[in-house]
Amino acid sequence: MHRLSKRSVKSLLRSSTAARYRDVAAPISSSHFFYQSADADSKGRWYSVLTSGRCDVIESTKPFKTRNEPFLGCRFESTAAASDASDSPSEKFEYQAEVSRLMDLIVNSLYSNKEVFLRELISNASDALDKLRFLGVTEPELLKDAVDLDIRIQTDKENGIITITDSGIGMTRQELVDCLGTIAQSGTAKFLKALKDSKDAGADSNLIGQFGVGFYSAFLVSERVEVSTKSPKSDKQYVWVGEANSSTYTIREETDPAKQLPRGTRLTLYLKRDDKGYAHPERVEKLVKNYSQFVSFPIYTWQEKGFTKEVEVDEDPAEANKEGQDETAEKKKKTKKVVEKYWDWELTNETQPIWLRSPKEVSKEEYNEFYKNTFNEYLEPLASSHFTTEGEVEFRSVLFVPSVSGMGKDDMINPKTKNIRLYVKRVFISDDFDGELFPRYLSFIKGVVDSNDLPLNVSREILQESRIVRIMRKRLVRKAFEMIQGIALSENRDDYETFWENFGKHLKLGCIEDRENHKRIAPLLRFFSSQSENEMISLDEYVENMKPDQKDIYYIASDSVTSARNTPFLEKLLEKDLEVLFLVDPIDEVAVQNLKAFKEKNFIDISKEDLDLGDKNEDKEKEIKQEFGQTCDWIKKRLGDKVASVQISNRLSSSPCVLVSGKFGWSANMERLMKAQTVGDTSNLEFMRSRRVFEINPEHPIIRTLTEACRSTPDDEEALRAIDLLYDAALVSSGFTPENPAQLGGKIYEMMNFALAGKWGTVSEYQQQANQKPHIPETVEAEVVEPVEAGGQK
C-alpha cells in the first residue's frame, strides 16, 4: 500500500475542478520565424513576430532554407497581442498514469537543479534531428523540404516566454498521444528497440531519449507548455497543450497559417512568475554554452546586436552665426557615432567536441587551444591524454595536467573542484563532484569525460552507487598516472620540476589515502638527500646508488635541509657513505610511513632506536657494555623518568650523546608538528615523551670523564649537573624542544662564566662578587617640595 503525500492528495482533489489556472494575459505568438514586408526593398527586410510593429533591421539569414518556393518567403504580420486560441475543435485526453503523483516526483525529486530543463529540451530536439537524419538515409522523401537541421531558441523576457524550435522528425497526432500522453514513454526508446529487433546496423545510433521523462522537466519552470509539431509523414500540424499539475491535456489541429511549420517541433514555455528570469537572452545563451555546447547540431539563439554608424547632427545657432562671419571658411558637416541595435540569430555552440575525433587527427596545438577555452587557462598544459575506453564500460575522455596550481591553496582540503566536466552523449551533466570520478589527491587533473552508459538525470546518489562510475574512476586514475609518468620520463627535466613544485604535495597525500596505487605513486616522489642537497632525486635513483650490502632506505625528518644536514644522527652514516633522504615537508614523514617499503627496501628512520647499519660486532658491543654499563645506570638514575633507558650508541662519531625516539614513538619532527596543530590532541604527548632513549658515545672525552666521575665520586654535585646539561644539549641537538628554556640558558651562562673566568679572570673573584651581599644605602630624610606652576606661580 502506497502512502500519498499531502501535495499529491491535494492535486487529486483538485483534478475534477474546471478552469484551475488563469490564462496568461495577452500571450504572444511563439514562432521565431520572419515575414517579409510587401514594400520591402530588393534586399528584403525581415521582421520578427515578437515585435509589436515593424522595425528596420539589417538583412539576416533565414532560419530555414528551401530549394523551391520558400515556405517562409511571405508571412503575415502578427502582433504580441495575438490570441493563442484557435477556431478548430479540441479533444481532451486523459494521461495514462497517476499524473499528480508522478509529476510531483519528476518536478521535486528527479531533478535537483531547475536550469537543467533547457538541457533536457535541447537534448530532445537533438534526438529529433538525429532520428530524421537516420531515417532520411532510407526514406529520402522525409527530407524533401530541404530545411536545415538546426535548433533555434527565442525568448520574450517581458512576458516570460521561451520558444524552442527544431527542424527534426516531428510527431503525428497519434505519436503526440503516445509520447506526451504517457509520461516517461520515450519515442527514441521505441525507435532504438525497433532497430534492435530488426538487427539494423543503425542500432548504435547515439540518441538521447526524445520526449521521455526529460520533456516534463519543462514543468520545473513552466506553468503551461505548448508543443506544436509537424511530421513529414502527415499533412496536418497538431498542437499539444498541458499545464503543470493537471490531469488532462488537449490536442488540436493548427489552422493558423502564420504558425505553420514546414517540419519539426516548436515548444513554447510560459514560465512561472518566479522563473521568468530564464527568459533573458543572456541567460539562455549561458545555459546553452554550459550544458549543450557540444551537441552535434547548430543551436541558434535570438540575441540583440548592434553596429556603429555615423549620423549628422544639427549645428548650434550661435556657432553657425560665428562661422557665417567668415564666408571663405569651408563649412563641414558635423557627425557623431551612434550604435544602432537590432536582433538576429547567433550561433551559440561553435566549439566542436574534440574527444569524438581520433587522437591521430588532433594536433598538440588543438589540444592546447581546447584546454585554454574550456578551463579558462592562459598557460599550456604540461601533458594531455586522449583515449577511448571500450568493453564493459565505454566512454571517451581528454585529460590534462595543468602547468600551475589553482589560485586557492585549499584544493587538497576541499575535493569539490570544477576540474572534471562530465558529459552524457555530449550533453554536459555536472562538474561538481566529491571524489566520485577522481580521488582528492588527483583533484588538480582537468579534463572532460563523455559516457554513453550513464543516464542524463545523473544525481549524486547515482554517481556514488553506480558500478559504471567505479569502473570509470579506476581507469581515469590509471590514465592520470600514465600522464604524470610521461612527464617524469621526458627529456625536459624542468617540466617535472615544475609539476612537482605545484602538485608534489598532492602525490604525497595519495600515499596516505590510496594504498592501492602505492606502486604508481612511489616512483613519482622526489626528495633531497645527504648526497643531493640542491637537486631532488627519485626513489629509483636512491636505490641505484645504494651500497651492495645496504638493505634499507634511510631517512631523517626535519624542518629544513640545513637542520637535517647538521643533525648528529647522520654522523656514522656519512662516515660509511650511506645516503639519507631528507624529509623537509610536513607531510613527508607521514607519507613515507604509509609507503613502508619501496622495491622490497624498508624505510628506516635514523632518529629511532635500534638502528642497524649492518656492521654489528657482538663481541665488541658486549665488551663496551661491560665497561660503560655502570655509567649508563648512573645517568639513567639521574635523569629518571625523562628517558626510557640509556644505551651505547652506534650512530655517533663526534657528538657525545643524542636523544632518539622509541621504535613506535614520535620523532622530534612529528612531535613538533603535533604540538603545532590548532585542534590537535596532545594527551599522548607525555606517553610519547617517556619513550625517548638517551644514547651516549663511549669514544667521546666528555663521556669518558663522566665515567671516571661515576666510578670515583658518583654523588658529586657538579658531575650530576653536567649530566643535566648534557641531556638538555642532546634535547636541542636532536630536534626536541627543551621543557624549560630559561633554565637551560642559565646553565649555559654558568658554564660560559667558568670557561671565560679561567682565561681572563679568576673564578674566586666571580664567586666573591656572587656571594657578596648587595650594598643598601642608609635611609635619609628627603625634603618635600610642593609643585610649582609654569611662570613661577603656585
Binding site per annotation, positions for ATP = 120, 124, 166, 171, 186-187, 210-215, 265, 460
Question: Is the Cβ–Cβ distance between 483 and 399 less than 8 Å?
Answer: yes
Q: Which three cell numbers stand for residue 419?
A: 576540474
* HEC per residue, 54-116: CCCCCCCCCCCCCCCCCCCCCCCCCCCCCCCCCCCCEEEEECCCCHHHHHHHHHHHHCCCCCH
Cell numbers 661491560 label which residue?
626
Kindly calculate the radius of gyration of the chain based on its CA atoms and give it in whole angstroms: 42
Checking 427-431 for CB contacts under 8 A at 24+ apart, the result is: 427/119, 427/122, 427/123, 427/208, 427/291, 427/292, 427/294, 427/295, 427/456, 428/119, 428/290, 428/291, 428/292, 428/293, 428/294, 429/454, 429/456, 429/458, 430/458
* HEC per residue, 402-446: CCCCCCCCCCCCCCCCCCEEEEECCEEEECCCCCCCCCHHHCCCE
Q: Nearest CA to 235 among 267, 266, 263, 265?
A: 263
Q: Which three cell numbers stand for residue 451?
A: 559516457
Q: Nearest CA to 528 among 573, 582, 604?
A: 582
**DSSP bridge partners of 249:** 93, 242
Within 13 Å and on the Cβ side, how many CA atoms surround 523?
Answer: 14
Spatial distance between the Cα atoms of 572 and 612, rounded to a whole number of angstroms: 11
Q: Nearest CA to 569 among 671, 701, 668?
A: 668
Using DSSP, state whether 590 is helix, strand or coil: helix
Residues 6+ apart with CB under 8 A from 574: 530
Cβ neighbours around 166 below 10 Å, total: 29
**DSSP bridge partners of 250:** 92, 241
Question: Is the Cβ–Cβ distance between 84 and 191 less than 8 Å?
Answer: no
Q: Nearest CA to 265 among 220, 226, 224, 320?
A: 226
Using a 10 angstrom Cβ sphere, with 0-12 exposed, 13-18 middle and 19 or more buried, the burial of residue 16 is exposed
Q: Nearest CA to 82 among 260, 259, 312?
A: 259
What secondary structure does DSSP assign to 451-497, as a single string?
ESSS-SS--HHHHHH-HHHHHHHHHHHHHHHHHHHHHHHSS-HHHHH
**Binding positions:** 120, 124, 166, 171, 186-187, 210-215, 265, 460
The helix (H) or strand (E) run that includes residue 237 is strand 237-243
What is the rounded end-to-end Cα distance, in angstroms, of the chain? 103
Spatial distance between the Cα atoms of 195 and 763, rounded to a whole number of angstroms: 108
Q: Nearest CA to 429 among 120, 110, 104, 205?
A: 120
Residues 6+ apart with CB under 8 A from 47: 34, 35, 36, 37, 54, 55, 57, 75, 77
Q: Sheet holding 657-660: strands in order across?
A: 645-648, 693-696, 657-660
Using DSSP, state whether 696 is helix, strand or coil: strand
Cβ neighbours around 237 below 10 Å, total: 23
Cell numbers 566536466 label which residue?
421
